[in-house]
Structure 1
């Protein structure tokens, strides 16, 4: 889609500038935190709370060409996840992360943060994405079926906020909050498995949990805990490609698997939502950081 050239009035804490590959991005440098959001995919590629360490991982080999999905950050997987409920949808993870979004508004907040709103309408679905940047990161995406022609109108809608978290050493992190939750192991293809105790990353990991409860990533290498709290989430996805997976990706350096862990709030699979004309679904996530 062609970019909308209109730009909202910006506060002094924000600017739209060319980024990597010359792609337009919104830069936020506010008293409570900083962030970077590319209009391609409405893709947040960086967030740092004021005085802290960067929390979001983006690959140094990520492609910024306005066509390919950006590796890292927070890709928007919508209106389907993977190949969709039917298993036949393309491109993988939907068109949200590879479309150009319109920047609707950017406003300063009383708490020293910034709130940005982006929008996209395509294939009978209108999407709104709200990004709150401050001492916490708050993301909310809403999808509404407009009733316009949609080749996928009979298939349920899925959405995921595919957050790549920056960690010091993924082999040392401990993921808690999922104890007792059932999950689909996409590495082995086995479903109905149950998580017992904390999750540790020791091999390729791709699990879709039937839980939207808050998840905490304890990262001793960086001396912090990152808590991901889903809002209206019905699933949590935990993913790391490990060394073999990283080696197969041209946009991820071989060693970068150790510096990231995806913990994403989602509504996918059996929890996908069937929308009639005018109906909507909303999903959010809040990411907060605390020292150990």
Structure 2
């Protein structure tokens, strides 16, 4: 009997766009499109989809893909002369055949390295030269790992600053049955109230209306508990200080392009981000940000779940 092995396949996806499919021996998988370096699927060993992608998502440039994990760079949100959330998510990346080594030793074999450099047209949006390398990896246990490396390659000696986010859309059973832990007592900007600065008072975040908050200087671990599915997403991040929590709810959902009117019920964005303090890079300097997400079964009782103990204990 042949033993299944990890596999990496470059193939055609929706509308003929190229994508890379990573598969692990136990059955978990990831799909990442070269358009936007956009992860559009992450499935566990049972073939269950863990990311939300709208049924109305367009896989058609120059529009961004609604759902999955868009890359926001060189800015988060909309600014004058910029595309919404930057241009990295609407550019075609290339496979990096000889990426510089990462510092950590790699225990995973299913991974792909992508790279983006600016085109001449990008300089009118952002007049800086850069290299953005992204590694997307699937661990033997079915976890997803994303490593972003951004280097200033300006020849004119000029530094630049940027903001960034892994705009992660999680698939949830029912937004009303979800809670987020790890952001208690953390300061946030309420984007629905003119970016008013507040402090989170709740023991855990729960959802019963539109939410758009930017939490600053957050812990490296955040847990998203889906009671109905008895599933917990555990996020570990490094080098990415902030986190956005977003759900548009019913009225806003109807106004969003490429998004179903009722789909807000089945998604939640918890986005590791660099927003409050834009990151500066001098020529030759490089920034690295890492995100590691696990999806673990959990019968959650308040205060009893330690995600790391579930994973490793």
Partner of 1:4: none
> Pairwise mapping of residues 14-93 of structure 1 onto structure 2 (< 5 A)?
14-32=8-26, 33-51=28-46, 53-83=48-78, 87-93=79-85
Cα deviation for residue 111 of structure 1 reads 5.9
Change (3 A) 1:254 1:281: same
SS of equivalent residue, structure 1 residue 247: helix
SS of equivalent residue, structure 2 residue 250: helix
1:117-168 Cα offsets, whole Å, 9 max, x none, are: 0001114111000111131111011111101479xx6652111111110000
> Pairwise mapping of residues 158-197 of structure 1 onto structure 2 (< 5 A)?
158-196=163-201, 197=203
| TM-score relative to the length of structure 2 | 0.82
> Pairwise mapping of residues 1-292 of structure 1 onto structure 2 (< 5 A)?
13-32=7-26, 33-51=28-46, 53-83=48-78, 87-105=79-97, 113-122=109-118, 123-134=128-139, 135-148=142-155, 156-196=161-201, 197-213=203-219, 214-269=221-276, 271-292=277-298
- Which residues of structure 1 form unaligned runs of 5+? 1-10
| TM-score relative to the length of structure 1 | 0.88
The answer to whether the 8 Å contact 1:266/1:283 transfers is: no
Change (3 A) 1:283 1:12: closer
RMSD: 2.2
SS of equivalent residue, structure 1 residue 245: helix
- Which residues of structure 2 form unaligned runs of 5+? 99-104, 119-127, 299-313
